[in-house]
Amino acid sequence: MKKLSANETDLHIAGEAIKDGQLVAFPTETVYGLGGDGFNRSALARIFAAKKRPRFDPLIIHIAEMDALDRVGDRGVLPFSLREKAAVLSRTLWPGPLTLVLPKQPEVPDLATSGLNTVAIRFPSHPVARKLIAYSTGAVAAPSANPFGYLSPTRAKHVEELLGDAVDFIIDAGPADIGVESTVLDLTQEPVRLLRPGGTPRERIEELIGRIENVEKTGSAPAGVLSPGMLKSHYAPKTPLILLTRDEILRQIASHKPADGAVYLFFDEETREASGAADGFVLSKKGDCAEAAASLFDVLHQIDKLSAGYIYAQEAPERGLGTAINDRLARAGARGGV
């Protein structure tokens, strides 16, 4: 594994490497991705191998210009209303942390989509990601650059520690701004469905296209089939995590329950102070959801190195990026199975 920085020379080296079938970990505005040419079967196979990712979990194809959308997805077969929604969303929210699931073009290898007839497409806003995609093949398959099921990487050093030599190059451009993965939206049928809450708040999407359905809450499809990122246990640290409301965490601390080697993860400083706990990690001093999302995985990576007995984590408010934080914490806490 060779480290690169985000200068033009290095980005061209990385772009050529992707054209050549190699794997490049790179920053996006959400988390670091593990990139390979989306049309090269052997590069795709290497991505699955590097992550130990089951073949049933499809990849997101990243593009860096609007015209590339139709090389990967086939909007043409959608009914008018869905075509319009795809147009409004891509025009307004791309580039940005939103992934659209659309019917796929036949040229997209089955390996990328795990044999589904749909494909997930994302146009990231991070300037380094955009250049890398543009300097390579214009269609880069990139899951988060972590072993399957584990915490996502928000820094180059997380990728280095987690994947090491399974990756050919890592581009280090500092920490990811948003810190949780993109929102995944299924646009292949009505009603439009939210497959993964993420960096684009649901509220923003609903302002543009009206109400969307939350697959998990309605139970309209078995989780794990529609979007394997919905596996109950995912994004999980090695340390068992218990998700608590603000009241529950305060009660837990007040009752002085013998919590062997427990580490507390507070959402905000105000709760930490109210609890009287001298230590513990705080996601956002002021209780700001965007700030909390940006530090979430980094703090969990740090805690996981402490070999604590348990992590007691406080829920975020269920709005904006708070929804994605709670989703990741809930999956981080779920153990054993799907």
Site residues for ligand TXA per CB under 6 A: 28, 30-31, 33, 57-60, 97, 99, 101, 113, 116, 118-120, 122, 124, 142-144, 181-182, 184, 195-196, 226-229
Indicate which of ligand TXA, Mg ion, none lies near residue 31 (CB less than 5 to 8 Å, by partner kind): ligand TXA
Q: Which of 144, 200, 227, 275 binds Mg ion (CB under 5 A)?
A: 144
Residues 6+ apart with CB under 8 A from 73: 100, 102, 103, 104, 105, 119, 121
Residue 72 to residue 107: CA distance in whole angstroms: 8
Least separation in angstroms between residue 141's CB and Mg ion is 12
Helix (H, G, I), strand (E, B) or coil at 195: strand
Pair of tokens at residue 224:
């794990």
Residue 308 to residue 280: CA distance in whole angstroms: 12
Closer to ligand TXA by CB, 90 or 113: give it: 113
Closer to Mg ion by CB, 99 or 326: give it: 99
Question: CA-CA distances (angstroms) from residue 8 to 14, 18, 111, 141, 175?
Answer: 10, 15, 31, 21, 19
Q: How many CA atoms lie within 13 A of 177 on its CB side?
A: 12
Closer to Mg ion by CB, 130 or 328: give it: 328
Least separation in angstroms between residue 234's CB and ligand TXA is 8
Under a CB-based contact definition with an 8 Å cutoff, are residues 321 and 183 in contact? no
Under a CB-based contact definition with an 8 Å cutoff, are residues 85 and 75 in contact? no
For ligand TXA, the nearest residue by Cβ is 229
Least separation in angstroms between residue 113's CB and ligand TXA is 5
Residue type, 87: A
Least separation in angstroms between residue 35's CB and ligand TXA is 8
Indicate which of ligand TXA, Mg ion, none lies near residue 227 (CB less than 5 to 8 Å, by partner kind): ligand TXA
For Mg ion, the nearest residue by Cβ is 144
Least separation in angstroms between residue 71's CB and ligand TXA is 16
Binding residues for Mg ion, per CB under 5 A? 144
